[in-house]
Amino acid sequence: MSAPDPNLYDYWPYRDRPKIVWPGEKKLAFWIAPNIEFYEFDPPKNPKRPGWPRPSPDVTGYSQRDYGNRVGHWRLMEMLDRHALRGSVSLNVAMCDHCPEIIEACAARDWEFFSHGIYNTRYSYEMDEAQERAVLADSIRTVEAATGQRIRGYLAPALTHTPRTLDLIAEHDFWYTCDLFQDDQPQPVKTKTGKLVSMPYSLEVNDVITYGALAMDPWRNADILKRQFDQLLEEGERSGTVMCIPLHAYLVSQPHRLRAFEAALAHIAGHRDNVWFTTAREIAGFYRENCWDQTQADIASRGCATGGTGFEGAST
C-alpha cells in the first residue's frame, strides 16, 4: 500500500509571487522560538515511539533536559533582554504547573506563547479525535489561566501528528502551525474551516539538529545562522521573507555555546532598519489580514490549486 499525498497545501513556486511588505516597509520578519518543554521521567508507553531513545527511566536524558529549565532558560532570557528581543514560546503547557516561575518571567516580558502539546513525551500518535480535542482545549485553557493570552499557534508535541491535527487546530481558531517546513514565506494550509497559516519554522537552524544531531561547533553554528539571515534578507528585497531560530535552552545555553550564539544574534539585531523583530502570532495576524487573499488569487491564477483539503479524499 502506498502512502497518500496529504494535499496539505498547494504547490506554489517561489518566483514571482505577489510582494509581501512587512510593517514599516521591512524586508524580513524575524522571530525566535524558545522551546520550553517538560519531559516526563518515566512516560506512558506509546506503541509507535518510545518516550526516550534509551530504556526508561532515563536519568541522563531527563536531567540534561531539566538543565534547560533550571539554568539554561534564565541565561537565554537575559541574552534576549540585552538585544531587546521577545520570544515566541513553544510551550509544553504542563510547564505552567511544573515551573510557573519561568512562565511568569516570560509573560512579564510580553513574550508570546503557543502550544507544543502538554508534555513532550506524550505523542499524538494513536490519539482518537476526542483525546486530541482535549489536548487543544487544555492548551487554550491552561495558558490563558496562567498568562491571560489566547494562544494562536501550534507545534505538535515532538512533531507527532494524526491525519486530523491541522483541521482540528484550525477549528479551534489557531492562526498558524509550525509543523510544515515547505517554505520561507507563510502560506495557507488546506483545512476544512478557518484560515490556518503555515509559519516558517526551521529544522535547518534548529539547535536540536545543529548541536544535537550534528554535534556542530558553536562558532560554525553561529556562521550558519548569519548566512541564513543574510540570504533571507537579500531575498526579502523582492518579497518579504521569514526567519525563525528554534532554540532549546538545554543546548544553546550551555556555557561554551552562549557567546557564539550571541555573536550571531548581535549580527541579526544590527539590521533593525530592514528587519521586523516580532512574534509568530504577529506575523500570522498580519499575513491573514493583508496577504491571504492575494496568495489564494495568485495560486488560482497560476493553475496551481488542487482540490480537497488536508487528508480528505486520500486513497491508499
Count of positions (residues) in the chain: 316
pLDDT in tens, 53-65: 888 788 888 899 9
Q: Nearest Cα to 166, choosing from 178, 148, 184?
A: 178
- The answer to whether position 100 is within a domain reads yes
- Give me the percent of the chain exceeding a pLDDT of 90: 80
- The answer to whether position 202 is within a domain reads yes
> Cα dist. 285→51, 136, 293 in Å?
35, 20, 13
- pLDDT surpassing 90 at residue 5: no
pLDDT in tens, 107-116: 999 999 999 9
Per DSSP, 166 falls in state H
- The answer to whether position 308 is within a domain reads no
What 3-state class would DSSP assign to 197?
strand
- pLDDT surpassing 60 at residue 19: yes
Top mean-pLDDT range of 6-15, 144-153, 305-314? 144-153
153-192 burial: b if 16+ Cβ within 10 Å, else e: bbbbbbbbbbebbbbbbbbbebbbbbbbeeebbbbbbbbe
- The answer to whether position 210 is within a domain reads yes
pLDDT grade, residue 309 (50/70/90)?
low
User: What average pLDDT score do residues 274-289 get?
Assistant: 98
- The answer to whether position 313 is within a domain reads no
pLDDT in tens, 230-274: 999 999 999 999 999 999 999 999 999 999 999 999 999 999 999
pLDDT grade, residue 313 (50/70/90)?
very low
* Distance between CA atoms of residues 193 and 188, nearest Å: 12
- Give me the percent of the chain exceeding a pLDDT of 70: 96
* Type of residue at 288: R
> Cα dist. 134→131, 139, 211, 263 in Å?
5, 8, 34, 42
pLDDT in tens, 127-166: 999 999 999 999 999 999 999 999 999 999 989 999 999 9
Average per-residue pLDDT in the chain? Answer: 93
pLDDT grade, residue 307 (50/70/90)?
low
- The answer to whether position 131 is within a domain reads yes
What's the confidence (pLDDT) of residue 3?
56
- The answer to whether position 274 is within a domain reads yes
What's the confidence (pLDDT) of residue 21?
97
* Distance between CA atoms of residues 177 and 169, nearest Å: 8
- pLDDT surpassing 50 at residue 315: no
Please check whether residue 196 is in contact with residue 176, taking contact to mean a CB–CB distance below 8 angstroms. yes
Query: In this structure, what CATH number is given to the domain that contains residue 149?
Result: 3.20.20.370
Structural domain count of the chain = 1
What's the confidence (pLDDT) of residue 83?
97
The domain of 120 spans 23-302
- The answer to whether position 160 is within a domain reads yes
pLDDT grade, residue 310 (50/70/90)?
low
